[in-house]
């Protein structure tokens, strides 16, 4: 039997692969490689001093901790928002759907100023929280709020297509067999949604780690308290300490890559573990 090769609109494999590798090399690999090469101008003792001082370690703790917590919150909130947009019809649905993408379009500096204005002690929301003893602006909580704001669309837009492809009849069948809502969610919905939730979390987490504009205003930039690592990198660049800045950037890249690799391995393991026999 004669096999016919499928004709593609795009050029052949060799040309497209070569273009892809060239593009990734110019845009991603070469800049990242230059970051690591710049750190070689430091001796090991200088490198360790630059990346392990108490001020820098405090910034790591805030950047990674707030980004991780913001990603977890966005997983829950993003799932709820995606569920509402997919499963229900209501007046203003398109407006709500457009608002989800607002953090994508809004300049991060504008978002930071807006959040600071709202959550300051005299702001619309901060004035209500102040009598309760809750301070948001110029605290680590403000950093968490800003990172949650910019990360929500990643989870919603990742989970939404999966929910659209998920037939409501599966839930109805589970209910007819006596499953309650929690059992239906845990055994029917969660295995299908888990890969999308992990992907959305990874995207939101990675985006939050490198965030600068929306955080720099609401954090207050107090050393050892509300100072994030991207701000320290900018500070070193302004002081012409390029080697120190790239040393911090290299540490952020290595830790971020390790965490994202762990998330992807967990995703792969979960897919194999729940795959049908």
CA distances to 4, 25, 26 from 19, rounded to whole Å, are: 26, 10, 11
Instruction: Examine residue 22 and state whether it is found in any structural domain, yes or no.
Output: no
Residue 177 lies in a domain: yes
140 pLDDT band, cuts 50/70/90, is very high
Q: Where are the alpha helices (DSSP H) in the chain?
A: 13-24, 30-39, 44-51, 54-87, 93-100, 102-105, 108-119, 126-129, 140-165, 168-176, 181-184, 190-209, 213-218, 229-238, 242-273
CATH number at residue 182: 1.10.3720.10
Q: Are 51 and 251 in contact (CB under 8 A)?
A: yes
pLDDT confidence of residue 42: 84
Tokens (6 digits) for 125: 């929301």
Instruction: Quote the CA–CA distance of 38 and 32 in Å, as a whole number.
Output: 10
In a domain, 114, yes or no: yes
> 30 lies in a domain?
no
Give the pLDDT score at 199: 87
Closest to 39 in 3D by CA, of 50, 52, 26, 29: 50
For the cut 70, the answer to whether the pLDDT of residue 96 exceeds it is yes
Q: Say if 13 falls within a structural domain.
A: no
- How confident is the model over 132-149, as a mean pLDDT? 91
Please state, in angstroms and as integers, the Cα–Cα distance from residue 253 to each residue in 36, 104, 147, following that order.
10, 23, 18
Please, which residues have CB within 8 angstroms of residue 177's CB and are 6 or more apart in sequence?
A: none
Looking at residues 63-78, what average pLDDT do you find? 93
Long-range contact pairs involving 117-125 (C-beta distance under 8 Å, separation at least 24): 119/145, 119/218
Is 15 inside any structural domain?
Answer: no
Give the pLDDT score at 274: 53
- Residue 277's pLDDT band (cuts 50, 70, 90): very low
Contact 229, 63 (CB under 8 A): yes
Q: Give a yes or no: residue 32 inside a domain.
A: no
pLDDT of residue 11: 62
Half-sphere exposure of 3 (CA within 13 A, CB side): 2
For the chain, the domain total comes to 1
d(CA 149, CA 144): 9
Mean pLDDT score, 130-147: 91
* 87-91, 106-110, 188-192, 270-274: range with lowest mean pLDDT: 270-274
pTM recorded for the entire structure: 0.83
Q: State the pLDDT at residue 7.
A: 59
| Contact indicator for 156, 193 with CB cutoff of 8 Å | no
Range of the domain at 157: 44-273
191: left (phi over 0), alpha (psi -120 to 50) or beta: alpha
């Amino acid at each position: 039997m004669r096999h016919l090769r499928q004709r593609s609109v795009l050029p052949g494999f060799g040309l497209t692969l070569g273009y892809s590798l060239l593009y990734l090399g110019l845009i991603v690999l070469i800049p990242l490689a230059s970051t690591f090469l710049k750190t070689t101008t430091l001796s090991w003792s200088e490198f360790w001093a630059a990346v392990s001082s108490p001020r820098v370690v405090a910034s790591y703790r805030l950047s990674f901790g707030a980004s991780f917590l913001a990603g977890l919150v966005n997983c829950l909130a993003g799932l709820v928002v995606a569920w509402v947009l997919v499963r229900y019809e209501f007046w203003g649905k398109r407006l709500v759907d457009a608002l989800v993408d607002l953090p994508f379009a809004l300049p991060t500096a504008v978002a930071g100023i807006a959040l600071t204005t709202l959550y300051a002690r005299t702001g619309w929301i901060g004035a209500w929280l102040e009598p309760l003893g809750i301070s948001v602006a110029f605290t680590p909580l403000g950093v968490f709020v800003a990172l949650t704001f910019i990360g929500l669309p990643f989870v919603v837009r990742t989970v939404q297509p999966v929910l659209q492809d998920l037939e409501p009849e599966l839930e109805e069948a589970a209910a007819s067999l006596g499953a309650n809502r929690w059992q239906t969610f845990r055994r029917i919905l969660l295995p299908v949604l888990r890969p999308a939730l992990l992907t959305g979390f990874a995207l939101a987490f990675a985006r939050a780690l490198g965030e600068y504009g929306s955080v720099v205003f609401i954090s207050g930039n107090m050393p050892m308290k509300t100072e994030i690592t991207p701000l320290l990198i900018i500070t070193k660049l302004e002081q012409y300490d390029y080697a120190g800045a790239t040393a911090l950037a290299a540490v952020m890249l290595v830790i971020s890559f390790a965490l994202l690799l762990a998330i992807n391995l967990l995703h792969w393991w979960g897919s194999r573990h729940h795959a049908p026999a």
